[in-house]
Amino acid sequence: MEIIHVSAECYPVAKAGGLGDVVGALPKYQCKSGDIAKVIMPMYRTKFLYENDWTVDFKGSANLGNWYFDFTVIKEPTNKLGFDLFLIDINGLLDRQKIYGYDDDAERFTAFQIAVVSWISSWEHQPDVVHCHDHHTALIPFMMKYCYDFQHLSTVSTVVTIHNGQYQGWMGWDKSLYIPRWDLWKRGMLDWAGSINPLASGVKCADKVTTVSWSYMDELRENANGLEALFEFEKGKSVGILNGIDNEVWNPSTDTYIENRFTVKTVTKGKEQNKQILCNQFGLDITKPLFVFIGRLVGEKAADILPGAIRTAIHQTQGDACFLILGSGETSIEWELQQMTNEYKGIYNAYIGYNEQLSHLIYAGADFLLMPSRVEPCGLNQMYAMRYGTVPVVRSTGGLKDTVTDMGDTDGFGIRFNNATIDDLAYSIGRGVAVYQDKKHMEWMRKHMMQIDHSWESTVFEYRQVYQSLK
Ligand code: ADP
């Protein structure tokens, strides 16, 4: 089976969050299991681009409304990521430092999608599946079905995976000219609430829709930033598949980002050595349990309650816990978390920014990982934490609910709470501080979590079933 993944992110080429991790791993494991999976993504100016050699695979041109543009498809020729990787270069539009966050993102990603479909339609053969990830690629099923120039692709199966339903790529109808000559009777397949909504269009036009956890599939029918009714209507073709993690990248016994590697047997010592490095680097007290947060500092992750919850927990435990934050996002949250470093020297610190290497060290050295998320489609952090023997403290939502059990339940190994509030999080931190004193229980939880199988090997099979159902 030949599967073409289309995405805005793919680790290690370009990553802003979990989408990058998934698209960097799923195709690799699909290839290992005997399928042909390829990835096509925009060519940004990233380190990976400059550190690798590329060959030109295709040159083409297309229109974005009145603007005529040339594009080039380049290929990484050595298969170094375990799958064929293609990048699309559109001069002046895609070749920038950042992945997102520009005023012309609508133009950038629409042009990218037009180039992708033009490229695939130039092939002599047809792939079995075009698999689109999130709203940046979700206009592709529409283009393949209803744009006159791509009609011969209308029988190719399409899948849209929703990694985050909050972002939908809305654009005004004035931008409808961007979409190559299309069947105007199909206007309803682009529209949601009076604007072009790429994610809604993907859900309507794709042959199958998947989300990255089972619970998130159910939650979208109740909370999907305006698309609830659509998810209810399309539930017959929708399925939740829990993300896996790349066990080769996230393996505490081989991880090249950390000095002190460890296995299930050596977890207690290994974590202590890593914690020592972290505590030295950030001026924290190693004798206290270390609670960390890694992620985007945004409302979706409930990062706004971190300052209040940390203050309350420090007060309630009389300073008996340490905290370390790694993240970037909304300026007001960044500012407050940074400010607090002056207040709580020795027990609190923050690194505002993105740092892949540091994230590995933190997963390896921390005792507890905080994830109070308001919305969490799957969440990879908690699975990485478990693999490194770090106890997840999570709100019961989406993928967090599907992957973490509470230590109060039989064989439970994490801490769960219901509300994204300062009090609930602070109370849960208190539970963590208490269990930390019970060394045997901590060791049991660490060892148990590290052995849970969240590998892609078992998940690729579920994707194959989805593809096969479309034949
Ligand atoms: P998201 O909603 O951001 O995609 P996920 O939990 O699915 O959340 O994935 C987040 C990924 O991004 C993880 O690999 C996590 O380690 C990484 N990450 C997030 N913020 C940072 C940061 N500031 N520095 C390093 N890695 C980060």
Secondary structure string (H, E, C) spanning 100-139: CCCCCHHHHHHHHHHHHHHHHHCCCCCCCEEEEECHHHCC
Q: CB of 65 closer than 6 A to ligand 1?
A: no
Question: Which domains can be identified in the chain, with CATH numbers?
Answer: 2-244+456-468 (3.40.50.2000), 267-450 (3.40.50.2000)
Tell me which residue has its CA closest to atom 19 in ligand 1. Answer: 295
Atom number, ligand 1, closest to the C-alpha of residue 296: 20
pLDDT at 448: 97
pLDDT at 471: 85
Tell me which residue has its CA closest to atom 24 in ligand 1. Answer: 354
Q: CB of 355 closer than 6 A to ligand 1?
A: yes
Whole-angstrom Cα Rg for the chain: 23
pLDDT at 191: 98
Q: Which of 301, 298, 295, 321 minimizes the C-alpha distance to 372?
A: 301
Best residue among 359, 369, 374 to mutate for probing ligand 1's pocket (most ligand atoms within 8 Å of CB) is 359
Tell me which residue has its CA closest to atom 20 in ligand 1. Answer: 295
Rounded Cα–Cα distance for residues 150 and 183 (Å): 12
Are 91 and 108 contacting, i.e. CB atoms less than 8 angstroms apart?
no
Give, as one character, the DSSP assignment of residue 77.
Answer: T
Are 143 and 189 contacting, i.e. CB atoms less than 8 angstroms apart?
no
Q: Give me the tens of pLDDT residue by residue for the chain, a chain 471 residues long.
A: 999 999 999 999 999 999 999 999 999 999 999 999 999 999 999 999 999 999 999 999 999 999 999 999 999 999 999 999 999 999 999 999 999 999 999 999 999 999 999 999 999 999 999 999 999 999 999 999 999 999 999 999 999 999 999 999 999 999 999 999 999 999 999 999 999 999 999 999 999 999 999 999 999 999 999 999 999 999 999 999 999 999 999 999 999 999 999 999 999 999 999 999 999 999 999 999 999 999 999 999 999 999 999 999 999 999 999 999 999 999 999 999 999 999 999 999 999 999 999 999 999 999 999 999 999 999 999 999 999 999 999 999 999 999 999 999 999 999 999 999 999 999 999 999 999 999 999 999 999 999 999 999 989 999 999 999 998
Rounded Cα–Cα distance for residues 198 and 400 (Å): 27
pLDDT at 368: 98
Beta bridge partners of 195: 192
Q: Is 6 helix (H, G, I), strand (E, B) or coil?
A: strand
Rounded Cα–Cα distance for residues 447 and 152 (Å): 53
| DSSP codes of every residue in 252-321 | TTT-TT-SS---STTHHHHHHHHHHHHHHHHT--TTS-EEEEEEEESGGGTGGGHHHHHHHHHHHTTS--
Q: What is the distance in A from the centroid of ligand 1 to the CA of 19? A: 9
Q: What is the distance in A from the centroid of ligand 1 to the CA of 306? A: 17
